[in-house]
Amino acid sequence: MSGRLQADGLAAALAVAGGLLSVTVPLRAMEEVPLQCRLEKGAWQPCRMGVEDVGRRWWLQLDSRRWQFQHDGSGRVRMQAPDAGWRSVEPRWESITAVEPASHALCWDGVCALGPIPLD
């Protein structure tokens, strides 16, 4: 499936065991997506992802704390943690076997999100 703009929303990717499976997830500008997040290998907790510009600007909200993200299109991602300045982070996929079915989470230096993450 394509990850291109569609009339009813944007495509997203869903991490599954063994790799990525493209799945269409309707997403309108500024819509929030429910996910599971964890900090520094802690417990998975409900969180929300908001997308301002798919693939370029998004945020994760965990309780009352919000992490902002920016991607410049060249592979560089910056994150602003709550009450902190912007810093460069390294995105990576992390294998998660503690959930059924086993999956992959997208992580940025200790902040991880699991679920239907809108990527493009």
Q: What is the pLDDT of residues 51-90, one digit of tens each?
A: 998 889 999 999 999 999 999 988 899 999 999 999 999 9
CA distances from 109 to 5, 24, 28, 104 (A): 29, 27, 27, 15
What pLDDT was estimated at residue 120? 66
User: Region 2-13: what's the mean pLDDT?
Assistant: 32
* pLDDT single digits (tens) 89-106: 999 999 987 766 668 899
Do the domain assignments include residue 45?
Answer: yes
What pLDDT was estimated at residue 54? 85
Do the domain assignments include residue 94?
Answer: yes
Q: What is the DSSP string of 47-82?
A: EEEEEEETTTEEEEEETTEEEEEEE-SSS-EEEE-T
Do the domain assignments include residue 107?
Answer: yes
**pTM listed for this prediction:** 0.71
**Does position 114 have pLDDT exceeding 70, yes or no?**
yes
Q: Which two tokens stand for residue 101?
A: 């079915």
Do the domain assignments include residue 23?
Answer: yes
User: Region 27-52: what's the mean pLDDT?
Assistant: 87
Listed range (11-20, 38-47, 103-112) with the worst mean pLDDT = 11-20
**Does position 16 have pLDDT exceeding 50, yes or no?**
no
Do the domain assignments include residue 89?
Answer: yes
Do the domain assignments include residue 39?
Answer: yes
Domain that holds residue 64: 11-117
Q: How many residues does the chain have?
A: 120
Do the domain assignments include residue 74?
Answer: yes
Q: Name the β-bridge partners of 107.
A: 92, 112
What pLDDT was estimated at residue 58? 95
Do the domain assignments include residue 19?
Answer: yes
Domain count, the chain: 1
